Amino acid sequence: MTRLLLALMLAPMLAIAAPAAAVLPDEMLPDPAQEHRARAISKDLRCVVCQNQSIDDSDAPLARDLRLLVREQIAKGKSDAEVRDYVVARYGNFVLLKPPVEGDTLLLWAGPFAVLILGAIGIALWQRRKPATSSADAPLSEAERAELDRLR
């Protein structure tokens, strides 16, 4: 009974944790090798609607269109690199989940480090402006000493 309850409690968590693949059966290529290539390419392409998911995982209509486009190119006999280049030519480097380091993607790669450095500089400047001594370090006045003696 305990195992059954445990299984019922864990089932929703496992369902959430399972990888979501949005590829529909009617999209799949009949050749398993080509389908495997299509899935590998799709995992590296960003859904331009969701922006944080690959087109392989996204349910967005545009992601479906991109998946079909990838499969169409593979069916034409294009190589993986040619398929990626075709998609990038149409949608730009933004469609890649790992865009190359180039002039137009430099902000994507350097942005987090710039924010981190600016934050560290801001904290350092804030710390320098803080008074060296706080009120807790100042000596007690006679009235404060008398109050402290009275409380003891």
Question: How far is residue 20's CA from residue 99's CA, in Å, rounded to a whole number?
Answer: 23
pLDDT score, position 84? 92
pLDDT score, position 2? 64
The model's pLDDT over 20-79, given as tens digits with 9 standing for 90+, comes to 456 777 677 788 888 899 899 999 898 888 878 888 888 888 888 899 999 999 999 999
Task: Let me know: does 96 contact 45? Beta carbons within 8 Å.
Answer: yes
Task: Let me know: does 78 contact 86? Beta carbons within 8 Å.
Answer: yes
Q: What percent of the chain has pLDDT over 70?
A: 79
- Quickly count: other Cβ atoms within 10 Å of residue 12's Cβ: 9
Average pLDDT over every residue of 147-152:
87
Show the tokens assigned to 55: 């087109």
pLDDT score, position 122? 94
pLDDT score, position 19? 45
Q: Output phi, psi for 54, to 5 deg.
A: -75, 165
pLDDT score, position 82? 93
pLDDT score, position 18? 41
pLDDT score, position 4? 57
Task: Let me know: does 66 contact 47? Beta carbons within 8 Å.
Answer: yes
The model's pLDDT over 92-128, given as tens digits with 9 standing for 90+, comes to 888 888 877 777 777 777 888 999 999 999 999 998 8
Select, from the ranges 14-18, 95-99, 136-140, the one with the highest average predicted confidence (pLDDT). 95-99
Range in 1-5, 109-113, 137-141 with the lowest mean pLDDT: 1-5
